[in-house]
Amino acid sequence: MKGLLYKDFILLRKQLTTYLVFLIVYGGFCVAGVFPLSILVALVAVLGLTVPLSSVATDDATRWDRYAVSTPISRRGIVAGKYLFAVLIILLSGAIVLALMLALIGTGLADGSMGEALLALPSCAFLTLLLNAVTLPFLLKYGAEKARAVSMVLFVSIFGGSILVGGLVNRGLELPALPHWLSLSGPVLLAALCVAAYLVSFAISLEIYNRKEF
Amino acid sequence: MNNALEISHLTKDYGSFKLDDVSFTVPGGTIMGLIGENGAGKSTTIKCILNLIHRDGGTITVFGRDTLREERAVKADIGVVLDEVLFHDLLQPRQLGKILSSLYPNWDNGIFEHYREKFGLTGNKTVKEFSRGMKMKLAIAAAFAARPRLLLLDEATSGLDPVVRDEILDEFLAFIQDEDHAILVSSHITSDLEKAADYITYLHKGRVALSGAKDELLDSYGKLVCGRAELERVDKALLGGCRMSQFGCEALVKDRRAFARRYPALTVDSVTLEDIMVLTGKGDAQ
């Protein structure tokens, strides 16, 4: 599996410039005051979803899996490699975004609350894990093209929905208050739900992959 | 002598095509050539050995180990060159070596470097910059570096020029000097197999049309070249297939000695693997 992760990261290196441009452009917008600093958090979701997707797309294009399955690594190892890669990308992009936010707040280039950023970042990371839990089985079953559509719909629904609800709340919409225990344990429950969904998703993907023919 | 590969009653039904009850054995220290027309089932057989597809029936063992029950151990003993190069375009051979070294437990980077040097695959070029022949050489270098006991080659030499093919055939011959090694090679280039193979299995429409030692096959089969009238007098049970043209007829004779005893006036020429394939195919079409 180590070799598969190495391959995915080597191939990712070739796209680093694109992702770097992403960070610079969004960072610039935050400095210019066009977007709030918290928008950077969404980059974790963007990277956490698009990088695993493009990794599978690259494998599809070269039909790499046909070779990988003929080697001693098991099908389980191949699927586990993709799931682990997605987790590592979320962690890595989370770390980069955090560093960028700290740098912008620390240097006074952008306004924002450190506490809010520290709360939003793990929430977004776990949410991205949940989104990957939904898209990865599609990705392995139908390939990158179809999974891209699923991924886009999910992304737009969740993040668009959040922005919409946020906007409505700002205009005076009153949401029902959460029970006290839920607001306290909410983040932990969300994290647990995301991790559980990811594990279930892995089991589903493994079943899909075991049935595949190359 | 131990068998490197035993395939017994292998069946895979695609609906439109069926690999039907295929059985053959590759003894250690030998090269088995798998021949057949396009769509005869050569690649399907190799895919079944590697569990790339799910077979419907039959058993496959590699050095006595079942390929389903002991899949990972079996695959550690197999070096693979498939009919297309499946390495990512953006990888350099050195990076590919690093990736494969963690997939194959017996990987020997020294061997990989040796073949990279030998095949001119050094430098920082990426796979994308290689010709088809170079890509095939890279796949062959990787297959050797896995230190396999069984090499599976699916049309591995088809993209190579005759000089390189000859060079690679020499490598294959050196590989099987060890009795514990064997090669199964599917190829359309029957002249290569005539040069290197010890055994031949001919797949025709998903079934084994013939299988045996190459020298015995080439010795027992023959090609009858005669006129239409003479052909009509011959017992069809002695023939494997024939093709007719305005200039005469060519027929595959299954047992040239028995044929010569029965029809001493007719001349039977020696046969090539290509003759066997073409005449069997033609006979089937007629």
B213-226: average pLDDT: 93
How many whole angstroms separate alpha carbon A120 and alpha carbon A97?
11
Is the pLDDT assigned to residue A163 strictly greater than 90?
Answer: no
Quote the DSSP letter at residue A208.
H
CA max distance for chain B: 66
Rounded percentage of chain A residues whose pLDDT exceeds 90: 43
> Chain A: nearest CA to B55, how far in angstroms?
10
Instruction: Tell me which chain B residue has its CA closest to the CA of residue A12.
Output: B90
* Mean pLDDT computed over every residue of chain A: 86
Strands of the sheet containing B65-66, edge to edge, are: B18-27, B3-13, B57-62, B65-66
Question: Using the beta-carbon criterion (under 8 Å), do A62 and B86 form an inter-chain contact?
Answer: yes
Is residue B24 within 8 Å of residue B201, measured between CB atoms? yes
pLDDT of residue B91: 92
Closest CA to B14 of B39, B32, B35: B39
Is residue B194 within 8 Å of residue B208, measured between CB atoms? no
Question: Using the beta-carbon criterion (under 8 Å), do A62 and B87 form an inter-chain contact?
Answer: yes
Q: pLDDT band at residue B213, thresholds of 50, 70 and 90?
A: very high
Tell me the pLDDT tens digit for each residue of B8-41.
Answer: 999 999 999 999 999 999 999 999 999 998 889 9
Question: Using the beta-carbon criterion (under 8 Å), do A58 and B88 form an inter-chain contact?
Answer: yes
Is the pLDDT assigned to residue A175 strictly greater than 90?
Answer: no
Tell me the pLDDT tens digit for each residue of B226-241.
Answer: 888 888 888 888 888 8
Give the mutation candidate from A71, A78, A213 for the B interface (greatest B CB count, under 10 A). A71
How many whole angstroms separate alpha carbon A82 and alpha carbon A54?
11
Question: Using the beta-carbon criterion (under 8 Å), do A71 and B75 form an inter-chain contact?
Answer: yes
Tell me the pLDDT tens digit for each residue of B94-145.
Answer: 999 999 999 999 999 999 999 999 888 877 899 999 988 889 899 999 999 9
Interface A:B, Cβ pairs < 8 A:
79
Q: What residue ranges do the domains of chain B occupy? A: 3-217, 221-281
Contacts A7 to B, Cβ<8 Å: 88, 91, 95, 99
C-alpha dihedral, B100 to B103 to B106 to B111, nearest 10°: 0
Contacts B52 to A, Cβ<8 Å: 66, 69-70, 213-214
Token reading at B204: 């025709």
A170 interfacial to chain B (CB closer than 8 Å): no
Please tell me which residue, B37 or A154, carries the higher pLDDT value: B37
Helix ranges (DSSP H) in chain B: 42-49, 71-76, 93-103, 109-118, 132-145, 162-175, 190-196, 214-220, 228-233, 256-262, 273-285
- Residue corresponding to tokens 């090269």: B31
pLDDT of residue A8: 94
Tell me the pLDDT tens digit for each residue of B59-107.
Answer: 999 999 999 999 999 999 999 999 888 999 999 999 999 999 999 999 9
The least confident of B41-50, B196-205, B226-235 is B226-235
Return the axis-axis angle of helices A144-155 and A114-142, rounded to nearest 10°: 150
Is the pLDDT assigned to residue B42 strictly greater than 70?
Answer: yes
pLDDT of residue A171: 80
Buried b (16+ CB within 10 A) or exposed e, A145-158: eebbebbeebbeee
Question: Using the beta-carbon criterion (under 8 Å), do B98 and A6 form an inter-chain contact?
Answer: yes
- Cα distance from N-terminal residue to C-terminal residue, chain A: 19
Is the pLDDT assigned to residue B285 strictly greater than 60?
Answer: no
Which pTM does this prediction carry? 0.86
Tell me the pLDDT tens digit for each residue of A84-112.
Answer: 999 999 999 999 988 888 888 888 877 77
Is the pLDDT assigned to residue B202 strictly greater than 80?
Answer: yes
Determine if residue B21 is left, alpha or beta; phi over 0 gives left, psi from -120 to 50 gives alpha, anything else beta: left
Contacts A1 to B, Cβ<8 Å: 102
The interface predicted TM-score (ipTM) is 0.87
Closest CA to B5 of B29, B36, B38, B40: B29
Q: pLDDT band at residue B283, thresholds of 50, 70 and 90?
A: low
A68 interfacial to chain B (CB closer than 8 Å): yes
How many whole angstroms separate alpha carbon A77 and alpha carbon A68?
10
Q: pLDDT band at residue B286, thresholds of 50, 70 and 90?
A: low
Q: How many CB atoms lie within 10 A of CB A106?
A: 10
The CATH number of the structural domain formed by B3-217 is 3.40.50.300
Buried b (16+ CB within 10 A) or exposed e, A118-128: eebbbbbbbbb
Question: Using the beta-carbon criterion (under 8 Å), do B52 and A66 form an inter-chain contact?
Answer: yes
Closest CA to B155 of B125, B193, B121, B106: B193
